[in-house]
Structure 1
Amino acid sequence: MYKKINYITAVLVLLASISVNAQITSQSPYSRFGIGNLMGSPLPQFRAMGGVSTAINKPTGYNNINVQNPASYGGIRLTTIDVGLAGSIVNLSRGSDKSSSFNGTLSHLTIAMPITKKSAMSFGVMPYSQVGYDFAEKGTISSGSNTGNPATQNVSNIYTGEGGLTKAYIGYGYQIGDHLRIGGNVEYLFGNIIQDRRVEFEDPVAMATRLRNENSIGGVNFSYGIQYDIKLNSKTSLNFGYSGSSANDINSTRSYVASKYRIGSETDGTGNTTVESIDSLKSGKSSLRVPLTHNFGIALQRDNKWVIGADFRMGSWSKFSLNKVNQGLEDSYGVSVGGQITPDITSINSYFKRVDYRFGLSYDKSYIKLADKDVKEMALSFGLGLPLANALTTRAFYKVNFTTEIGKRGTMQANALQENFINLRLGFTLNDMWFRRFKFD
């Protein structure tokens, strides 16, 4: 037992260090706004159902870690580990301009273990938001000349950004009686958001300018939840759930540098040489205001057979501020519907009857508004939960969860930007009974 604990601990520490230190990358111009593209808390098995998770406890006897609603921890009866990978194919379109990119990363590492017969704790690391973009807007500027003819010059505004926030959490859930569960998470949000804007002229004599803004963020936030199920008969139940996160100020350290440079040198990573620093601010203490969010869910469940449900979510992002400045974001909301079916969880002759088949739809109005138009996101999702054979001498159970999300963000109307994406997620889940005492007669 001690060898197993030491081995697992070493693996988890290694994976945690990879998750924390790896550079999360994406290619989404929309991640320029706010704190980037929000990643959400559902693991792959819930994302396959469109993100439906707020009211979900255990559709089958298998334990899942539902970080979206910490009240669900109260139903965990086995030590559970969930590790996953994520990849994204993004196609950007704006008029006749098109581009494609692929990015991948370790997506999450979560662990849960029972504390008593009706309670459990969970902890882990996962991305909270992602920032990654690199695009340019070309135009011309003009100034009056002595001859009376306007002098025009081509100019490029180049925007780049990288980074994002990571969430490390620890939570506890408790079941009260047979139908009610409550729980909460203490979360530490941390990371760096680096944003650059460069103005470059076609005239090689003209000096270009660069504005670099970096925010190093780290602070505590809280989330909480409650679930209640009503038994319709011995195997069917109607489940209700609510979860939310508190509005809170998180510490931020801001560094700001404005400089002039000449194009074409190879003395730094951008191929440019800084000639003069115009203005700078380093170690400026500030804060990031995380808004209040709410999630409501309902699910109808047939134990070990199927579950269908819906989630509604909303966030007060119009109150979001960074460096004590309101960022002009909009309140967000979204809805998801989806479900899971397992044809015959006890089947011996057919493996595919023991597989979980999942599907879902989601719609979100994001916190971004451009040219008086809301930026919306729609996605279709589906996935499989593939059980793996367990050793006869152990009580361990394994499952591989594979999810595909196909969707779009934005619109092609009025020459706006549209993102078409395919998100691929792979999760590996282990259920095992640890720390049990053996009795001998």
Structure 2
Amino acid sequence: MYNKLKYTFAVCLLLTSLMVNAQVTIQSPYSKFGLGNVRGSLLPQYRAMGGISTAVYKPSFFNNINIQNPASYAGINSTTLDIGLTGVINELSNSTQSEQNFNASLSHVAMAFPITRKSALSFGILPYSQLGYDFKNTVQVGTTAANTKTVDYKYTGEGGLTKAYLGYGMQFGDHFRVGANVEYLFGNLLENRSTEYANDPGAINSRLQAKNSVGGVSFTYGAQYDFRLGNKTSLVFGYSGSSNSNINSKISNVVTQYNIINGEEQSAFDTLSIVENRKTNLKLPLVHNFGISIQKDNKWLIGADYRMGKWSNLTIDNVNQGLQDTYGVSVGGQYTPDVNAINGYFKRVDYRLGFSHDKTYIQVNNQDIKQTAITLGLGLPLSSINRGSIYKMNLTAELGKRGTVSNGLLQEKFVNLHLAFTLNDGSWFRRFKFD
């Protein structure tokens, strides 16, 4: 058992190091707003069902880690390890042109194990938000044709926030469960804003470089209650939420001036102002998730979620970010033809399908930016290497769009591909007897 623990912790530490130090590589102009593209705490199994998770307890004997609602940890009865990767195919377009890009990264490392017959502990690390954009806005300034100049306003950003969590869930009686996660958010948000006179070699250009180094604690919590409708069928109600925590951060920024000669940017010749590691904070919003599901054990699951967030209250450095409140819905489900089938591999496969629609916290030109996606996935059983161990490979695809090309806006069409490996091992903490 101890060798397994040491090996697992070593792998988790290695993957955690890669996740923390890897450059976040996304291209999304909409990530300029707020904290970037907020990912949520969903593993691929739940993304494949449109993101339903609040009322998802345990549709089969196989254990999955539902970080979104820590009350579900109470159903974990064997050591569970989940590691995954994500690839994103993204197309940005407006009314006249479009461009495509692809990026991939480690998505999560999560582990859970039972403490008692009705409680379990979970911990892991995964992205909280991602920041990545590079665009410019060209305008003409001046009062007459003689003094009119072309000005490029350039905006770039990179980085993101990572979430490490430790959670515990337990069951009271036969139907009620509660749980909570303590989360540590950390990372850097790097943003530059430049003003350049494109056709004036002698002009003085300026740039603001800003860095927000975040590191602080937040909390999420949840509850579930199920009603038995039959011998193997149950109805589950769920709630989860996150607190409006104050997260510590340090702000650094520098304003420089520079020239562009023959199309090449020269080294800065003057620094107008500099601020290093000024202590401040950001205030996260209060978020609520409500869910309902109905399931037949080891056969099928159908559910729906409704979520809402007070993102209009988000402040960074005590400045309100001018965001909108959010809401969203998800519907989806899972079907397994015959979980105990001896002949016919595809009878033991989990088939997942879902749909999601969200009003994001972004509003541009008085138009709300909305996101819609269709999701599908497979849970593929793998051959067991050791007795008492069960492995699955989870494949998920999210096909969706965000924004619109009307009213001078941008539209993002995306295909998010997720690959995760999940291990259930009941032998880790088992006591063996020898005659």
TM over 0.5: yes
Structure 1 pair 353–264 and aligned structure 2 pair: CA distance change class (3 A)? farther
Q: Which residue is 2:252 aligned to?
A: 255
Q: Could you tell me which of 423, 429, 432 is aligned with 2:416?
A: 423
**Structure 1 position 123 matched with structure 2 position 117:** no
**Structure 1 position 407 matched with structure 2 position 404:** no
CA contact (8 A) 1:130 1:165 kept: yes
1:45-56 counterparts in 2 under 5 A? 45-56=45-56
Q: Distance in 1 between matches of 2:126 and 2:11?
A: 16
1:97-136 counterparts in 2 under 5 A? 97-136=97-136
Structure 1 pair 271–429 and aligned structure 2 pair: CA distance change class (3 A)? farther
Q: Secondary structure, in 3 states, of the residue corresponding to 1:65?
A: coil
Q: Distance in 1 between matches of 2:266 and 2:172?
A: 63
Deviations along 1:363-392, one digit per CA (max 9) or x if unpaired, are 00000111111010000000000000114x
Q: Distance in 2 between matches of 1:154 and 1:195?
A: 23
Q: Which residue is 2:215 aligned to?
A: 218
CA contact (8 A) 2:338 2:348 kept: yes
Q: Secondary structure, in 3 states, of the residue corresponding to 1:215?
A: strand
**Structure 1 position 9 matched with structure 2 position 3:** no
Q: Distance in 1 between matches of 2:314 and 2:15?
A: 32
Q: Which amino acid aligns with 2:288?
A: H
Q: Distance in 2 between matches of 1:109 and 1:265?
A: 48
Q: Distance in 2 between matches of 1:272 and 1:426?
A: 44
Identity %: 56
Post-superposition offset of 1:262: 1.2
Post-superposition offset of 1:415: 1.9
Q: Which residue is 1:389 aligned to?
A: 383
CA contact (8 A) 2:54 2:305 kept: yes
CA contact (8 A) 2:259 2:265 kept: no
1:20-419 counterparts in 2 under 5 A? 20-143=20-143, 150-201=146-197, 202-264=199-261, 271-391=265-385, 394-419=387-412
Size of the alignment, in residue pairs? 433
Q: Which amino acid aligns with 2:366?
A: D
The farther-off stretch of 199-208 and 163-172 is 199-208
Post-superposition offset of 1:123: 0.3
Q: Distance in 1 between matches of 2:167 and 2:278?
A: 32
CA contact (8 A) 2:389 2:424 kept: yes
Deviations along 1:374-429, one digit per CA (max 9) or x if unpaired, are 010000000000000114x5100000000000000001111211000110011100
CA contact (8 A) 1:42 1:67 kept: yes
Post-superposition offset of 1:10: 1.5
CA contact (8 A) 1:180 1:229 kept: yes
Q: Secondary structure, in 3 states, of the residue corresponding to 1:329?
A: coil
CA contact (8 A) 2:201 2:261 kept: no
Q: Distance in 2 between matches of 1:71 and 1:388?
A: 28
CA contact (8 A) 2:301 2:335 kept: yes
* TM superposition score normalised by structure 1: 0.96
What are the ranges of 5 or more consecutive residues in structure 2 without an aligned counterpart?
none
Q: Secondary structure, in 3 states, of the residue corresponding to 1:165?
A: strand
Q: Distance in 2 between matches of 1:52 and 1:166?
A: 22
* TM superposition score normalised by structure 2: 0.97
